[in-house]
Amino acid sequence: MILICDDDVTVRTSLTLVLKRAGYEVATASNQQETIDFVRRTCPQLILMDMNYSNTTTGEEGLELLAKVRIFCPTTPVILITAWGSINLAVQGIRAGAFDFITKPWNNLALLKTIQTAIQLRESEEKETDGKETEMTARFGKIIGKSALLQQVLHTISRISRTNAPVLITGESGTGKELIAEAIHENSNRQGKPFVKVNLGGISQSLFESEMFGHKQGAFTDARHDRTGRFELADKGTIFLDEIGELDMVCQVKLLRVLQDQTFEPLGESKPRQVDTRIICATNKNLPEMVAQGKFREDLFYRINLITIQMPTLRERLEDIPLLVDHFTQKQAKQNNLPQIEISQEAYGYLKKLPYHGNIRELKNLVERTILISGKKIITDADFKKQYIEVPSSQPVSGNTILSLERVEKEMIQKAVELYGCNHSKIATALGLTRQTLYRRLEKYDIKLPE
């Protein structure tokens, strides 16, 4: 059952009609007290809640009601209803525990997809809590590794793939974010439908609308033919927005519109088009920090990161290096018709000691380069040493002095400790590390936190 909480009878009637046609049972409440009385008795599958219940538009009534509802029904997802001009209120609501928000006038398809996603995720969490979750049956053929951190990522994918939840994949460059996005698509109900990749860092502001939404012939000087945009190409499938942290503020607003309503208008056309696509984004930037600096819209941030997957670095997955090396070796031999190639144990030991600032991409390039240049059937540590290219420190140097990467790393950790004391979370966030990696670095450099 879905509970609709709104003081406007027209809104309650419209939502009731849409939801009943979709097969949901519906209950309604016209004010805060009716809502509280309902949730005291029973917890619905989901709650649609207005932000205002009087002539005021501050949203404080909705935030207060949300807090009370979560006391009685802490696991019930709440979707807030707000006007487009009150998005900031909705963001406050999400901070307070709401699942998502929709704007008036809403798009019925977008609303039903959001409701379906919220209910699916809640059911998935309940199964896991009850210990009834079945063994993973997801397909991860392209993803190599057995480390605990990688298995956590795959476990998350297996739980959320069949929902329509937007996913934000974060992590350093070269950690395999695109492969994770593909795995989510391949294990979803959209498998077999288009998987459209977009590198937002490579699209200028002037071309953004044409690339993403398409254009009609004659829409601008060089528009000689109609063009289908990326969102329309991804209809019924998944769109992967890579490097979303590179998107400028003007384009962020345009992207927010299509994510909110699931509609867009090609350049030169005034009639909105409906699109049904799942959104997966990726970035190696610190988006919360960019939000604080005013470089990334907070409402867009909450719209894209309903589910966040943090990719571990290769430095945190050292036990996966032999598996990755074997995979790259076999692939290279097959592609170039080479005889079977062996990697010595000393070589594996050497490869595990490298810093890998370029992560898996760096390891792949090193393995392939060494195989092709050495021309040997047995690759040793000496062969890898000849081909290894150390990435220089990006830190400033004085005179002709070049600091080692380890020294720079240690000094930056010490500065973060001096700044944030014993707050592990703030130290890790400032350094762009996970807490597990931070603990390893503290132990490695024998850095003690203040009491």
**Domain locations along the chain:** 2-129, 148-312, 315-387, 405-444
Spatial separation of the C-alpha atoms in residues 60 and 3, rounded to whole Å: 20
* Tokens found for residue 76: 């019930």
146: three-class secondary structure by DSSP: coil
Say if residues 371 and 326 touch (Cβ distance below 8 Å). no
Please tell me the predicted confidence (pLDDT) of residue 35. Answer: 94
CATH number attached to the domain at 405-444 = 1.10.10
- Specify the pTM: 0.72
- 315-387 CATH fold: Helicase, Ruva Protein; domain 3 (1.10.8)
State the Cα–Cα distance between residues 364 and 111, nearest whole angstrom: 43
Q: Which two tokens stand for residue 424?
A: 């592990």
Report the interhelical angle of 405-420 vs 424-431 (nearest 10°). 140
Per CATH, 148-312 and 405-444 having the same topology is answered: no
Q: Judging by DSSP bridges, how do beta strands 263-264 and 307-310 pair with one another?
A: unpaired
| CATH 3.40.50.2300 fits domain 2-129 | yes
Is the CATH number 3.40.50.300 carried by domain 148-312? yes
| All residues at 6 or more sequence positions from 74 whose CB lies less than 8 Å from its CB, including other chains | none
Residuewise pLDDT in 10s, the chain (451 residues): 999 999 889 999 999 999 999 999 999 999 999 999 999 999 999 999 988 887 666 677 888 899 999 889 988 999 998 875 566 777 888 888 888 888 888 889 889 989 998 998 888 777 665 554 444 456 788 899 999 999 999 988 988 898 888 999 999 999 999 999 999 999 999 999 999 999 998 888 888 999 999 988 877 777 778 889 999 999 999 999 999 999 999 999 999 889 888 889 888 888 889 999 999 999 999 999 999 999 999 989 988 988 899 999 999 999 999 999 999 999 998 888 888 899 999 999 999 999 998 899 999 999 999 999 988 899 999 999 999 877 554 444 434 444 556 677 787 888 888 777 888 877 887 777 777 778 778 877 778 877 6
Coil/strand/helix, residue 307: strand
Closest CA to 240 of 166, 338, 332, 300: 166
Phi-psi region of 219 (alpha: psi -120 to 50; beta: other; left: phi over 0): alpha
Dihedral in degrees, nearest 10, Cα atoms 292, 295, 297, 303 = -90
Smallest CA-to-CA distance from 301 within 243, 245, 239 is with 245
Q: Is the dihedral of CA 163, 164, 168, 174 positive or negative?
A: positive
Q: What is d(CA 402, CA 213) in angstroms, rounded to the nearest whole number?
A: 48
